[in-house]
Each structure stands twice: as structure tokens, then as C-alpha cells.
Amino acid sequence: MGFRIAVVGSGAIGSYYGAKLAHAGSDVHFLMRGDLSVVRRDGIFVRGEGENFRIAKINCYNSTSDIGPCDLVIVAIKATSNHDLVDLVPPLLHEETMVLTLQNGLGNEEFLAGHFGAQRILGGLCFIAVDRHSKTEVERYAYGQVILGEFGRPAQPRTHGVGAEFTRASVRCTVTDDLALERWRKLIWNIPFNGLSIVAGEIDTAAIVGDKNLRALTLDLMEEVIGAANKCGHPLPKEAWRKHMERSETMSGYKPSTLQDWEAGKPLEIEAIWGEPVRRAAAAGAKMPRTEMIYELLKKLDQVRRSQ
């Protein structure tokens, strides 16, 4: 397709998928404000089972104005920094620029649509275990996949074009006609594992799965998410939890992204992953008491940490 691509947010997700696209020959431009000099000097290393490569020459910048208009803008910053996008994204836009958010949780497409127009917005869900060990090193622990969809409408020819770009980069990618449904499907994993990894004492996925009580609570949370999704009009089957649990049992002690943020002292995506689902469920007449408990605990823990 020959897309000119901008990656806004060069943490684990942005660095990994941006590097994969660049390695496959896509025209990728990274916004890297704090890490610019190191990445320009050393490039980006990607490691994982079945792949080990370095992108030596990185198109990276400390300003989106220096990048200029692109055909596809990949948003990979944390949802806690969405307010920054109001100024960061406009220099990257031309009349037909697509804006693809790879962020977690609910509400990100709505935020972007409100500022840049709903017709531009796509969403992507990244089912992957990946960690950024340093400014230049990314390690992928489990392959997973990317699911792409349009905000508020079925897939378009352009959606399949973006999917083909990822596929060409050896990223397993599928396209959905119901992005909102897939957002809730991903919450089946994100709500319990990201939450329990912190409130249960900064533990990884293996510790959660391996503890009888935490495993039972995880399953209860998953069923709660499935029930809320159905109440909100997103029909997930009762057994939708099963693949998530099976995948988690193969992760070998992966630290979920929220735990990584917590340990690094970064803001947590509390509202996008827990708050917004609870609010949407309540508006639809559904209750999520376990999810709401984790939501309140995370808010309190975050408040205490920020006050210290």
C-alpha cells in the first residue's frame, strides 16, 4: 500500500510493532522525545522466539511537526496521556490520514473521534506479551495477534489495507466488523490479570494462575466481564474466558503492562481498563462488583503512591 506511518508512543507496543513494520520495509517514523539520541545511535533491537533483529537506522524525531503528514498514525501512548494527543496529532494529518489506536481499555476511540473526526479512527487490539527492557531493547514473550476494526462501523477496504501492512511484517492480523465487541473480549484478560498483578502484591501471571484462590477470583472476574459485555449489547459466549486462561498458562511469569507501569512509577490506565467498563455496565443495568473493587483499590494505591 505504500503507507507513510507515524508511531506516537514508543514504549513496548509502539516500539515492537513499529520495528516490525520498519523491518519489513514500511516507511515508519517514530516520535521519541526522551530517547531520541540513544535510539538514533543504537537503533532498536527486537528479540523473541523465532525473531532476533536490529533496526540500525531509525527515522525518529522529538516533534510530530518534524515528521509531517502521514497516511497512518499509530497511537501507542498510554491512555493516561491522551490529553497530549490534542497537540501531537494535528501535524501528522492530511485529508485522508487514518488514526489507529493500539491502546488498552474503553473510551480511546471516542476521545480521538471527538478531536480528529470519527471518520479517521480505527482501533487495534494487541494480544501479545512484550516488554521494553531499555530504550533500545524490546522482548516479545508470546506472539499473540492484532485485531483491527473501524470505530463505529464495519471494516472498510482501508482496514484490510492496514491489516495487509501488518501481515507483510509477519504480524498475525485479522480484521473485525465489530471493534466494540473485541474491546470487551480483551477486557476478559486485562481486567483480572492487570488488576490482580498489583493488588495481590506485585505478582506475575504465573503466580496468579498458580494460586488456587487467585485463579478462582480470576475466573469470577472473567465471567463478570462477559456478563457485563452482554448486558451492554456485545454478545460474548459464556466460554469466552477459556482461551484467555489457556494462553495465560503458557506465559511463563509475564508481568502485565499495568504492573510494568506500577514498578516504573508511571501513571496507571485505571479509568480506561476498569473505570469505564464499570460505568458502561452500570448504565446498562449490569453490576461488576469485583471489577469495581479492583478499580477502587487501584485508585487508592495510586493516590497513596502519588502523595508520598
144 Cβ neighbours under 8 A, 6+ residues apart: 126, 127, 128, 129, 172, 247
Q: In this structure, are residues 108 and 83 in contact, taking their beta carbons and an 8 Å threshold? A: no
3 state DSSP class of 80: helix
- Sign for the pseudo-dihedral over CA of 109, 112, 116, 117: positive
The three cell numbers locating residue 132:
521494553
Beta-bridge mates of residue 55: 44
How many C-beta neighbours within 10 Å does residue 222 have?
A: 22
Has 238 been annotated as catalytic?
no
Amino acid at position 127, single letter? F
Rounded Cα–Cα distance for residues 216 and 8 (Å): 38
How many C-beta neighbours within 10 Å does residue 278 have?
A: 21
* Residue 123 φ/ψ region, left for φ over 0, alpha for ψ in the -120 to 50 degree band, beta for the rest: beta
Q: In this structure, are residues 61 and 92 in contact, taking their beta carbons and an 8 Å threshold? A: no
Residue 16 C-beta-side C-alpha neighbours within 13 Å: 28
Q: Are strands 137-150 and 173-175 parallel, antiparallel or unpaired?
A: parallel
* Residue 63 φ/ψ region, left for φ over 0, alpha for ψ in the -120 to 50 degree band, beta for the rest: beta
Query: In this structure, what is the dihedral angle of CA atoms 99, 102, 104, 106, given to the nearest 10 degrees?
Result: 30
Q: Which of 20, 57, 78, 186 is catalytic?
A: 186
Catalytic residues: 186
